[in-house]
Amino acid sequence: MPQDAHCESRLVAELKQIVGEAGLLTGSDVRLRSCDPFRPIPIESPAIVRPASVAELSRVMALCSALGQRVVIHGGRTGVSGGAFAGADELVISLERLNRIEEICAVTYTAVVQAGVVLEALQNAVAERGMLYPVDLGAKGSATIGGMIATNAGGNRVLRWGMTRQNLLGVEAVLADGTVVSNMNRLLKNNTGYDLKHLFIGSEGTLGIVTRAVVRLVPAPVSQSVAFVSVQSYRKLLALLGLARRLVTLSAFEVMWRDYYELVAASGSGRRPVEPAQPYYVLIEALGQNKELDEKLFEQFLVGAYEEELVADAVTATSGKQVAELWRVREGSEVIVREFGAFVSTDVSIDLRHIEEFLARLKSLLQTRYPGVRTATFGHLGDNNIHIAINVGPDTIGEESNVERLLFQAVGEFAGAITAEHGIGRLKREFLPEHRSPAEMGVMRQIRAALDPAGLLNREVLFRTGEGS
């Protein structure tokens, strides 16, 4: 935002001409919003623009482009990597009024949605028609489809249906100069030139502002089988995953390490489905379309796992209440909050073959510096994605960036990913160049410079761009 008060008021006046009174928030309406889901981090921008149509957004960006005005794009503000942080010289553009589900089709299994549609609203609308949008995550009550596209959101069932990228057919976006690029493809097979949607998916709002999308749907499952098992060794855990991969209905393979399970099982919350006597615990879920046969498939898988002696102990559930209770063991983050107080939350991907070595190395690095370190380890093993909650003592928050540096050192040694699903945002930006090669960083810069030469879109996200970068 130009600091000159005259320029600022000119900008606000011109924006109001485009989006009207209802389309512009200023003053305390801006100040009362946080741009982080866990901590109150105020938006420093002088204004939030809320276009009610793609045409309005296009005019807003043409104006910003003419004035060299930088913008930060807001979806549901559920991201944990600081992608929504907005400074005093940045204008916030919120997609919240572009929140219409335009079409749901049970023949083509597609839905056309605007970027501001909240995930749960889409889930509910398609469920009424017997379908499922397979991307699911904890923040579904706030996260928007546009934000999920910009960050290529993952979640619990990536093993079966993939991340957001795999569940999109078309995307429309507004470029920094206001150009509307509509790539609203509805066809499963389409090789007519570059598949432009992939530029916008996962680029964290740095190449364009996602406005609409065509998403893929699948039939809503009619059966759900869940087993909770304990496993004696990492070798057996990998063998169990190998067996589970042959279950065509497999939808989740969620692993909890001993440090996590003992914490949750001892918490007095009644979440202790099996004896806490083994190093690994797994929640295995299957979702299918034929209740009777799906249960048999699942049963035969478990029998096989017993016969091959891959499982020490097991309980199973097929009713909604029991299933929910088993999932609650996996979703014990509030127990970690209670037991650890503050903790550093992590989101890394590591090659399956090296996860145990990686964890040993990480713990050794942490213990050297923080002898009292405590961890709780869990994750989506089939996706290579593990989360480790780390507490290093009373000053855990103050030590966050030091802990992350040790974590990312270990990730680098095992050629892992410093972010599996949360994204780089502003908070991990300094680490990005250490985990992508100079050639890769070069191509990223070239692409960004081609689409947004002045660096107006989410300028502080991923890597610095534009003047003085």
We find the least distance from the C-beta atom of residue 194 to a copy of itself, in angstroms, to be: 5
**What does the per-residue mask of binding to a copy of itself show for 409-428, with x meaning CB under 8 A?**
------xxxxxxxxxx----
We find the least distance from the C-beta atom of residue 294 to a copy of itself, in angstroms, to be: 8
| Of 111, 136, 108, the residue nearest 126 (C-alpha) | 111
Residue 279 identity (one-letter amino acid): P
Considering only residues 184-213, where is the footprint of a copy of itself by CB under 8 A?
185-196, 198-199, 201-203
- Roughly what angle, to the nearest 10 degrees, separates helices 400-413 and 355-369? 140
We find the least distance from the C-beta atom of residue 377 to a copy of itself, in angstroms, to be: 16
We find the least distance from the C-beta atom of residue 78 to a copy of itself, in angstroms, to be: 15
User: What are the Cα distances from residue 403, in Å, to 313, 387, 389, 400?
Assistant: 35, 14, 11, 5
CA–centroid distance for 365 within its chain? 27
| Interatomic CA distance for residues 67 and 62, integer angstroms | 9
Beta bridge partners of 344: 390
| Of 339, 333, 403, 341, the residue nearest 367 (C-alpha) | 403
Where in 270-325 does DSSP place strands (E)? 280-288, 313-317
- Does residue number 449 form part of the binding site for a copy of itself (CB under 8 A)? yes
| Closer of 289 and 367 to a copy of itself (Cβ) | 289
| Closer of 47 and 411 to a copy of itself (Cβ) | 411
- Does residue number 152 form part of the binding site for a copy of itself (CB under 8 A)? yes
Cβ partners under 8 Å of residue 52, min gap 6: 19, 20, 22, 23, 97, 98
| Closer of 1 and 418 to a copy of itself (Cβ) | 418
Tokens linked to 116: 């501001």
Considering only residues 28-57, where is the footprint of a copy of itself by CB under 8 A?
none
Interface residue with a copy of itself, options 45, 69, 94, 183 (CB under 8 A): 183
Considering only residues 234-293, where is the footprint of a copy of itself by CB under 8 A?
238, 242, 245-249, 288-290, 293
Considering only residues 289-348, where is the footprint of a copy of itself by CB under 8 A?
289-290, 293, 296-297, 300
Task: Please tell me the count of residues contacting a copy of itself according to CB under 8 A.
Answer: 90
| Interatomic CA distance for residues 46 and 421, integer angstroms | 31
Interface residue with a copy of itself, options 10, 338, 353, 369 (CB under 8 A): 353
| Of 396, 434, 402, 399, the residue nearest 415 (C-alpha) | 434
- Does residue number 121 form part of the binding site for a copy of itself (CB under 8 A)? no
Considering only residues 356-395, where is the footprint of a copy of itself by CB under 8 A?
380, 382-385
| Closer of 88 and 293 to a copy of itself (Cβ) | 293
